[in-house]
Chains A and B, each alone.
Chain A
Amino acid sequence: MWNALWKFLHKLASPKYFYNISAKLIPWFSWTALFLILAAVYFGLVKAPPDYQQGESYRIIYVHVPAAWMSMFIYMVMAITGAIGLIWKMKLADVMAASSAPIGASFTFLALVTGSLWGKPMWGTWWVWDARLTAELILLFLYFGVMALNAAIEDKRNAARASAVLALVGVVNIPIIHYSVEWWNTLHQGATITKFDRPSMDMSMLLPLLLMAFAFKFYYASVVMKRARVEVLEREKNSTWVQEEIMGKA
């Protein structure tokens, strides 16, 4: 079984194979994402009851929390693929890392904006420099740094190497974001959903949150593949298979 998996990974690492298989996967991921988003919106905005304290305004959680999870998840994908690119010089890993950065930055931005919109009526302020908010803002700047390095360095291999090093340096920020609410006193509340404990949220409110979290994962998978396909074509433009792909098989 391990052998088969290893073989598949090797095959996947070939840009041409990735280009072909991603074309088949993207529609599946996109439709699943759309379906899950619609379900999550329905259950979250229509079915879920209002909160005992916050009333209706808590519903922003259905965008805010999944977006914040994604901001960290995509960063880890970017750092791990970056490391694979550094160590094994795998082209597709570089492509994945570069394609992930703008999507991760968007989710981070979304988490910051929705949090701010919620913070004004609930906390009484748009922004406060507490550990959680500040660490998430640093995450946004790390994404910007990775994107800037990728864009500024002409040679793709050097760009990938530089941005992977930055991404790996920034990895330390991920546990800081996660544990900030426990390590220091912050205005941001603690975690509602933890691995080892019962979530401190009613089931009817939790379900749409989890649906949206899955929806965002599929959305990311679909969008990162679309970006990666373009990136692959760009990087492999001198190879015969790309020439054939563009010009049509003569």
Chain B
Amino acid sequence: MTPKRKKRLALVGVLVLGVSASVALALMAFNENLQLFYSPKQITAGEAPAGKVIRVGGLVLNGSVQRKPGDIKVSFDVTDTADNLTIEYTGILPDLFREGQGIVAIGKLQDDGIFQASEVLAKHDENYMPPEVSDALQTAHEEGVNQPKQN
């Protein structure tokens, strides 16, 4: 390689490394703002701003979904396995909403500690399988068979 080319190669390397380093620093500085949602644990710890529209994410706690008869108002708990948070929502839930499913709710935290959601989004996980496989896994799980989980 000629010295000129070597110099240009070094310049390109410095450019890419320099940009990467500065972007990495910027991303670390803005880490909090890049998170889409707060976890119930963060909310319990008081990390979320009060009275502002925020997003909360977590898994819908099994057996926590309560619907009032004759009303579309629904309340459920989300968990990050460390803490729980009760969410109230009036409206239509997305198709994927179910117990055990990850969701993201947009709304405000009230003084009584209940999260009043104006929108609920379902978070899909990365698992894809045919219904039969899912049924088989479910049955195996219920029978308490020690079958390795499909991941």
Name A's B-contacting residues (CB within 8 A): 49-54, 58, 61, 83, 86-88, 121-125, 128-131, 165, 168-169, 171-172, 176, 183-187, 189-192, 197-198, 200-202, 204-205
Contacts and interface: CB of A to CB of B under 8 A. Distances in A.
A187 B130 contact: no
Q: Enumerate the 7 nearest inter-chain pairs by beta-carbon distance, A residue then B residue, closest first.
A: A52-B134, A124-B94, A49-B130, A201-B128, A130-B36, A192-B126, A52-B131
Contacts of B34: 131, 183-184
A61 B94 contact: no
A29 B37 CA distance: 45
A201 B12 contact: no
Interface size class of B (residues with CB under 8 A): 35 or more
B78 interface: no
8 contacts: A50-B131, A51-B129, A87-B9, A165-B15, A184-B31, A187-B36, A198-B151, A201-B128
B128 A192 contact: yes
B65 interface: no
Interface of B: 5, 8-9, 12, 15-16, 19-20, 23, 27, 31, 34-37, 39, 57, 93-96, 104, 119-135, 150-151
Grouping DSSP codes into helix (H, G, I), strand (E, B) and loop, the A interface class, with mixed when no group exceeds half, is loop
B151 A187 contact: no
Contacts of A185: 35-37, 39, 57
A32 B8 CA distance: 38
B128 A51 contact: yes
A122 B95 CA distance: 6
Given A49-B132, A124-B121, A183-B34, 8 more contacts: A50-B131, A51-B128, A123-B121, A123-B124, A172-B23, A176-B27, A187-B104, A200-B128
